[in-house]
Each structure stands twice: as structure tokens, then as C-alpha cells.
Amino acid sequence: MDWLEEALEAAGGDERLARQLRFVLELDRAKSVPRRTYITDGSRLESDGEHMWHVMLAGLLLAEHADEPVDPVRLALMLAVHDIVEIDAGDTFIYADADAQADKVVREKAAAERIFGLLPDDQRDTFSGLWEEFEARQTPLARMAAAIDRLLPLMMNRAVDARTWREHGIRAGQVYAVNSRIGEASSPLWSFAAAVLAAAERDGLLES
């Protein structure tokens, strides 16, 4: 018996609490999953855990700029949950080819079943439902979550002189295509993002 199971048994063996605490401990692994976005001082890549915290707070702050009303707290929860599957599946580069994107769907579905399955059934259904809603991007909430999920890496990449785009040879057309979903949810945020991209092109940081 490992230390966690021993402590849970000694604390009374509450199975609901046990499942919740196993899930909470599992979440720590997200801190070790690297992404392709540099933190704004350029010293290193961020982790999934850092990204999930960052977008959650951004959701609370920016929810008011959605073109259709969304609940800020539910938006923040969706953003906190949306990348948990990458604990198993890893982060797939947003500019990866079609084969990699297709494989991502398979890997992330399996990850969702395992990781959310650690939770009590009601909370499993809540978290997996939010993840599925985010992936489908059919609701105003999911579209706004996707917009913020795109906006933060765009801002961070610009803060380090488009380092990720330049390192991977990403061109303007690809960047506009990937980030256009911001405009599906928020006109103000897309106006800002488009201005950032236009200036990056003008300054020679993003090649046409």
C-alpha cells in the first residue's frame, strides 16, 4: 500500500474523498507537460499547469468581452479543465499536420476516459462534459474558451518577438488561420489580436 492509500484508509476510508484526492494528486503531473509557448521573459517554455492557471484567470477577466453572454465562473472552469487530458496525451503543436491532429483526438479521448474516470461519477460527468463541450466548440461558452486559449499564446509569443513562429517557420497565413477562432467569439479580442499580428508582419517578425 502506498502512502496515499494508507493515509486514506487511516482517515476513514471515505471512497468519494479518496477518488477526489487521487484526482487532485494526478493533476500535479500537468506541471511537467511542456508546451511550445515561451514565458514572457523568454527564459523557458511554459508547462500545461501554468497555462491552465493562466487561461482560467484570463477567462474570469475577459468573459465580459464575449459577443454572446457567458458565465465567467463556468468559463474559467472550462478553461481549467480543457487541457487536463494532456497529462497522458501530451501537448500537440497547434501548427502540426493533419495526421498529428487526427492522432491527437484519439489520444485525448483515451486520456479523458482514464483521468476523469478517477473522479466520483457526478464530478466525472461534469468535467468530461466541459471538456467535450470545449472540443466541439458549438456553444458560446466553448467558443469564448477557445478564443482565450488562442489569445494568450499569441500575446506571449509576441512578447518574445514571435520566437515560436520563427523557430518553427510558421507563416502569417497559418497564424491567421489558427487564431481566427478568436473572432468567432469576441469582436473586441479579435480586433486586438489582428492588430498584434499586423504589427508583427510590419516589423518583420511574421513572414507572409
What's residue 152's pLDDT? 98
Q: How far apart are CA 24 and CA 153, in angstroms?
A: 26
Residues in the chain: 208
Amino acid at 12: G
Rounded Cα gap, residues 179 and 205, in angstroms = 16
The pLDDT of residue 54 is: 98
The confidence score (pLDDT) of residue 44 equals 97
Q: With 0-12 CB in 10 A as exposed, 13-18 as middle and 19+ as buried, what is 138?
A: exposed
Which domains can be identified in the chain, with CATH numbers?
14-202 (1.10.3210.10)
Rounded to two decimals, the pTM is 0.94
Q: Which of 31, 18, 28, 49 is nearest to 123 (CA)?
A: 18
Element (H, E) at 35: strand 34-38
Cα–Cα distance between 118 and 147 in angstroms, integer? 29
Task: Write out the H or E segment, with its range, that includes residue 193.
Answer: helix 187-202
| pLDDT tens, the chain, 208 aa long | 599 999 999 999 899 999 999 999 999 999 999 999 999 999 999 999 999 999 999 999 999 999 999 999 999 999 999 999 999 999 988 887 767 777 889 999 999 999 999 999 999 999 999 999 999 999 999 999 999 999 999 999 999 999 999 999 999 999 999 999 999 999 999 999 999 999 999 999 998 8
Beta carbons within 10 angstroms of residue 108's beta carbon: 20
